[in-house]
Amino acid sequence: MKKVIVIAVGVALILGLVYVVKNLQTKSKATDVSLIAFAVEDTASVDKIEIYDSFHDQDMVLTRNESGRWEGPNGMCVEQSIVAMMLETMHKVTLKGYVPKSAMKNMKKLLMSQHKEVKIYQNGKWIKTWFVGHSTQDHMGTHMLLETPEIKSDNPVIVGMKGFHGILEPRFFVDKRKFVCSDLFSFSRKEIQSVEVVNRVQPSDSYKIEILDSDNYKVTSQGKPIPNVKKDNLLFYLNGFEDIHFNQPNYTLSNEQMDSIRANQPDYELNIKGKEKSYELDMYRRLDREYNPEDTLAYDMNFLWGVKPDGDFVRMQYYTIGPLIQGKTVFE
């Protein structure tokens, strides 16, 4: 009888141990999955992204408005393609590997001292936060740590992105200038009432076009009519005022340098009057940094500074704006 009791107790203990082990394994697996579940399956429902850069102590908040477009703080216009890139990263992120135990302590210190904190919201609710750290030595992976409303990982892991070979950290930034919309103006030919170009580099190339009606135009240069204007070429020129963008915001000029530039008359002025809106753009040539002999001034042949109506400086390409300020060579 005693042997039966001993055997029964032994079996019970074994079954209990098996249950405990299985339970621990299940919990461990669940925890492991939660700690590496960086991906967001439904990015269409993501409506807010908060990014904080611990190194620069700056942040950026992006929200999706009622029409589905993304905005910055105070309704700031942002390039939609940038947010689309971030959402793509959230959807395609994948685990690449684990940090070796021998390196874990240092990796945690590095990540906590310098990282990008990316908080992701769906339908107004916070769902997870990425702590995006530095790259691996081969620059093919990124050290990241995950936090959700239920749990925060203690240890970073190495992640990548499906179909992408490189570092994920540069895909999340807080510099508002990198987000700003690059569009300047857009006028269809039928909207335009007049175009005036003031060219102080070559004053004889200044001109003004006035649309009198659908078939009649008045074209002058320095107050005098330009004879023999080629109408087809003039219409071609006026068709070029749609979807004009700048190349990039000002990353190099200080406030003092901008004030110094503004103290001079613009090298070019573009004044557009439309039926419902108008636009004025001042432009200044840029000195070529690579060519600066003492007795000669050389100007950048690819870019110039544009000053928007709100006073912001932007870098513009001659490729984009050149045809609009050199129209006389087209229609004369």
pLDDT (average), residues 153-159: 92
Q: Does 23 have pLDDT greater than 70?
A: no
Query: If pLDDT is split at 50, 70 and 90, which confidence band does 331 have?
Result: confident
pLDDT (average), residues 77-91: 97
Mean pLDDT for the chain? 88
pLDDT (average), residues 22-42: 60
pLDDT (average), residues 154-163: 94
- The rounded distance, in Å, linking the Cα atoms of 145 and 125 is 20
Specify the pLDDT at position 27.
40
pLDDT greater at residue 303 or residue 10:
303
> What pTM did the predictor assign?
0.77
Q: Does 304 have pLDDT greater than 90?
A: yes
How many CA within 13 A on the CB side of residue 103? 12
Residue among 16, 122, 146, 115 at smallest CA distance from 64: 122
How many CA within 13 A on the CB side of residue 9? 6
Phi, then psi, of 11 in degrees rounded to 5 = -60, -45
Specify the pLDDT at position 172.
97
Q: What is the pLDDT of residues 249-301, one digit of tens each?
A: 999 999 999 999 999 999 999 999 999 999 999 999 998 876 655 555 688 99
Overall residue count recorded for the chain in this entry? 332
Q: Does 322 have pLDDT greater than 80?
A: yes
Query: If pLDDT is split at 50, 70 and 90, which confidence band does 328 have?
Result: confident
